[in-house]
Structure 1
Amino acid sequence: MMDWDLVYYIEQMPPVHLGEFEQIVLLAVLRLGEKAYGVPIRAEIENRAARKVTVGALYATLDRLEAKGLVHSWFADATPQRGGRSKRYFKLLPAGVEALSGSKAVFDRMWEGLHV
């Protein structure tokens, strides 16, 4: 494959469709920035979306988003405050920003002209 073929292929890739909870998780990660790990992500969702989130549902979604190439995760050094466990941090990748923008654009178009 030549470079131009690769560019064409990337530009022709279909948009990533996000479920509601995936969007909420991505928005929480984006909002938290460098502080995005499990506990604050969960708190952000519970506070802003007013919905309970189980740890299992959150991490299953984060794993799925990472498999889709929308977020990247890494483990920080272990700390004594956490009993020697390390935190798993998350960062939104450019593809995640693009997926969120695409989802917002779809909803904006669907809401256009409607008044409820």
Structure 2
Amino acid sequence: MGRETLGELEQLLMLAVARSGEQAYGAEIQRDLEDSAGRSLTISTIYVTLVRLEKKGLVRSRRADPTPVRGGKAKRLFVLTAEGVAALKESHTVLERMWKGVSTLPEFRSP
């Protein structure tokens, strides 16, 4: 594993981008994370993380055409890059390997 490991938030955002196909944007990603992962994140947290992933070459963004519904503002759409897909698959493989052999987790009681 020669590259930096993805953090949990990075993985969740990248999975949300992958699930959205070519139309992933902040509010849609935010809804997906809340509905599917039970994670409530601010739009700013989502965009800061996506920009970091873009700088790493793991996602790519483009501006959609402005729409009257958004007051003429264009959405910023995100897609995974080939490097992003590879990093996400590698993270999944590492987690699967780590879970192999774990049949039960110890029970802990609060004092």
- Give the TM-score of the pair, scaled to structure 1: 0.86
Give the length in aligned residue pairs.
104
Q: Deviations over 1:11-61 (max 9, x none)?
A: xx9223110000000000001102211111111111111011111110000
- Aligned to 2:9, the other structure's residue is in SS state helix
In the alignment, the residues of structure 1 paired with residue 59 and residue 67 of structure 2 have an alpha-carbon distance, to the nearest angstrom, of: 24
**Equivalent residues of 1:42, 1:58 under 8 A apart:** yes
Equivalence for 1:49: 37
5+ long unaligned stretches in structure 1: 1-12
Asked if 1:75 is matched to 2:63, the reply is yes
Match of 1:91 in 2: 79
Match of 1:106 in 2: 94
Q: Please report the RMSD computed on the Cα atoms of aligned residues, expressed in angstroms.
A: 1.2
- Deviant stretches of 4+, over 3 Å: none
TM-score, normalised to structure 2's length? Answer: 0.90
CA distance in 2, matches of 1:49, 1:105: 20
1:82 counterpart letter in structure 2: R
1:53 counterpart letter in structure 2: L
Q: Distance in 2 between matches of 1:96 and 1:89?
A: 15
Q: CA deviation at 1:109?
A: 0.7
Equivalent residue, structure 2, for 1:60: 48
In structure 2, runs of 5+ residues without a counterpart are 105-111
1:15 and 1:102 in contact (8 A); partners too:
no
Are the aligned partners of 1:73 and 1:88 in contact in 2 as well (CA < 8 Å)? yes
